[in-house]
């Protein structure tokens, strides 16, 4: 997504822009969000193209409220705006972790949470560090390096390991997960949007179906995330095959389509603000707030959606029972009511109430792992790279679901001894 800052150009948009994948790659969503936060914080969007109208919430307070109040705003009818008719029932309702409300949500979440404790996550540090060094090593010769393309496989490496997925499938699965959220992007589309989404879902679901059946046939018990899903009870019974497939898909998708774009943002900001990175190199206590600022700035998950369970009054408007409500995280993370100088990247920002991982019962289950991976990525970047130069214009992903890059050419100047250290 293009990230712009005030003063914004005169606002020109159509209602359907909020849904348009191209708008987030080539338009000016931050100008639109700033206008809505100020003048229309409970915006009723009617695409006027046959798709169902929906509400757009852009202020931090309202975004947080909708995500927290599951008794008022349900996840059971779907959580993303996409090409599927919003009036259609959600086939994954109460079957897949994102599409459940408490207490059923806790039934699915708690066993996985136990596998992602701080101790379990810390055990992944050395494997992740090796992955990052392998990723950065080709860039240390000073040539042009596309960090966005390289970063796409970054989360697949440790998520694939945690899920026990064969390494030879990682690259294709990374591409397929991006197809599910960038079905209009020419680099990921197979033609018509719905056909692209169907193909990606078919391949991913087929892979997980075969993996689940292989484990069942061999009675293979593993301590990985798929093994945990196979061993848990849901409604006093093991997960069905469909439930296993859907939740494997949800875990993989959540990691793969967001984390790479924060890593690319860290590299981009190192080029733009070398002084902030020198300070972080010299003072390691600045590294955690720097990662949090990169998460706020990138806001890779653009939006989530809920459905109202009752009539709700917000900002003088009435959201009727059953109506879809979208919340925009990138807008909430630029809300002037919460953040000082929201359009400045500040690695020393100490009060950072960003909602990049969401809030409430659906707070990102992989947040701890993502934070660890990004902190290690930053550590290795600081230890290996002296300076970053942008070698071309970044190319943004066409998606209304994920704010990301599909290309970011850079030149990295290696620190003395960095190449030897990487090979070692």
Q: What is the DSSP string of 319-349?
A: EPTT-EEEEEHHHHTT-TTTSSSTTS--TT-
Asked if pLDDT for residue 418 goes beyond 70, the answer is: no
Pairing relationship of beta strands 324-328 and 385-390 according to DSSP bridges: unpaired
pLDDT digit string, tens, across residues 111-138: 888 888 888 888 889 989 999 999 999 9
4 assigned to some structural domain: no
pLDDT of residue 220: 63
Between CA 262 and CA 200 the distance in angstroms is 24
Average confidence score pLDDT of the chain: 92
pLDDT of residue 72: 98
Mean of pLDDT values over 240-250: 94
Asked if pLDDT for residue 207 goes beyond 80, the answer is: yes
* Matching residue, tokens 């080709």: 138
Number of domains the chain is built from = 1
Report the share of the chain in percent with pLDDT over 70: 96
Q: Which two tokens stand for residue 307?
A: 């459905």
365 assigned to some structural domain: yes
The CATH number covering residue 48 comes to 1.10.630.10
Mean of pLDDT values over 80-88: 70
Asked if pLDDT for residue 424 goes beyond 50, the answer is: no
Mean of pLDDT values over 394-402: 96
More confident residue, 422 or 406: 406
Winning range, highest mean pLDDT, from 4-18, 83-97, 193-207, 211-225: 193-207
92 assigned to some structural domain: yes
143 assigned to some structural domain: yes
140 assigned to some structural domain: yes
Asked if pLDDT for residue 85 goes beyond 70, the answer is: no
Mean of pLDDT values over 335-343: 97
362 assigned to some structural domain: yes
pLDDT of residue 419: 55
For the ranges 63-77, 205-219, 270-284, 314-328, the lowest mean pLDDT is seen at: 205-219
pLDDT of residue 84: 61
pLDDT of residue 59: 98
pLDDT of residue 83: 64
Q: What pLDDT band is residue 35 in, cutting at 50, 70 and 90?
A: very high
Q: Is the pTM of this model over 0.85?
A: yes
| Three-state SS annotation for 50-65 | CCCCEEEECCHHHHHH
What is the domain extent for residue 247? 15-423
Instruction: Kindly provide the residue ranges of all beta strands, DSSP E only, lying in 128-221, ordered along the sequence.
Output: 144-146
pLDDT of residue 126: 92
pLDDT of residue 336: 97
206 assigned to some structural domain: yes
pLDDT of residue 91: 75
Between CA 355 and CA 363 the distance in angstroms is 9
Q: Which helix (H) or strand (E) holds 383?
A: helix 367-384
Instruction: Kindly provide the residue ranges of all beta strands, DSSP E only, lying in 235-381, ordered along the sequence.
Output: 303-308, 312-314, 317-319, 324-328
pLDDT of residue 15: 79
Mean of pLDDT values over 380-386: 96
Give the length of the chain: 424
1 assigned to some structural domain: no
Mean of pLDDT values over 404-419: 89
Between CA 140 and CA 158 the distance in angstroms is 23
pLDDT of residue 117: 84
Q: Which two tokens stand for residue 198?
A: 């169907």
pLDDT of residue 12: 77
pLDDT digit string, tens, across residues 149-195: 999 989 988 888 889 999 999 999 999 999 999 999 999 999 899 99
Report the share of the chain in percent with pLDDT over 90: 77
pLDDT of residue 89: 62
């Amino acid at each position: 997504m293009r990230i712009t800052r005030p003063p914004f150009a005169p606002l020109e948009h159509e209602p359907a822009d909020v849904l348009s994948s191209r708008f987030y790659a080539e338009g000016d969503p931050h100008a639109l969000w700033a206008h809505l936060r100020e003048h229309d914080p409970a915006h009723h969007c009617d695409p006027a193209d046959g798709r169902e109208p929906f509400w757009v919430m852009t202020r931090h307070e309202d975004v947080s409220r909708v995500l927290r109040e599951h008794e008022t705003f349900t996840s059971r009818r779907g959580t993303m705006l996409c090409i599927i008719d919003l009036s259609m029932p959600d086939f994954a309702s109460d079957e897949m972790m994102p599409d459940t409300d408490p207490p059923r949500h806790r039934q699915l979440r708690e066993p996985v949470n136990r596998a992602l404790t701080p101790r379990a996550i810390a055990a992944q540090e050395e494997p992740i560090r090796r992955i990052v060094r392998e990723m950065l090593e080709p860039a240390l010769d000073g040539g042009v390096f596309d960090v966005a393309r390289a970063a796409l496989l970054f989360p697949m490496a440790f998520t694939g390991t945690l899920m026990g997925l064969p390494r030879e499938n990682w690259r294709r699965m990374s591409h397929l997960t991006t197809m599910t959220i960038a079905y209009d992007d020419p680099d990921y589309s197979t033609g018509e949007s719905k056909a692209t989404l169907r193909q990606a879902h078919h391949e991913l679901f087929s892979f997980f179906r075969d993996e689940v059946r292989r484990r069942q046939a061999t009675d293979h018990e593993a301590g990985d995330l798929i093994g945990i899903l196979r061993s848990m009870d849901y409604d006093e019974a093991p997960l069905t095959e469909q439930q296993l497939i859907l939740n494997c898909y949800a875990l993989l998708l959540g990691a793969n389509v967001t984390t790479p774009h924060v890593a690319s943002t860290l590299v981009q900001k190192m080029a733009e603000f070398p002084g902030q990175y020198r300070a972080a190199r010299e003072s390691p206590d600045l590294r955690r707030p720097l990662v949090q600022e990169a998460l706020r700035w990138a806001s890779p998950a653009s939006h989530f959606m809920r459905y109202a369970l009752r009539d709700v009054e917000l900002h003088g408007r009435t959201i009727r029972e059953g109506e879809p409500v979208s919340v925009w995280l990138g807008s909430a993370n630029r809300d002037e009511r919460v953040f000082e100088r929201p359009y400045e990247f500040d690695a020393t920002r100490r009060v950072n109430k960003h909602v990049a991982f969401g809030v409430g019962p659906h707070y990102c289950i992989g947040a701890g792992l993502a934070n660890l991976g990004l902190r290690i990525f930053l550590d290795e970047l600081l230890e290996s790279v002296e300076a970053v130069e942008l070698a071309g214009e970044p190319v943004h992903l066409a998606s209304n679901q994920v704010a990301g890059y599909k290309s970011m050419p850079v030149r990295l100047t290696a620190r003395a001894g960095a190449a030897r250290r990487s090979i070692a």
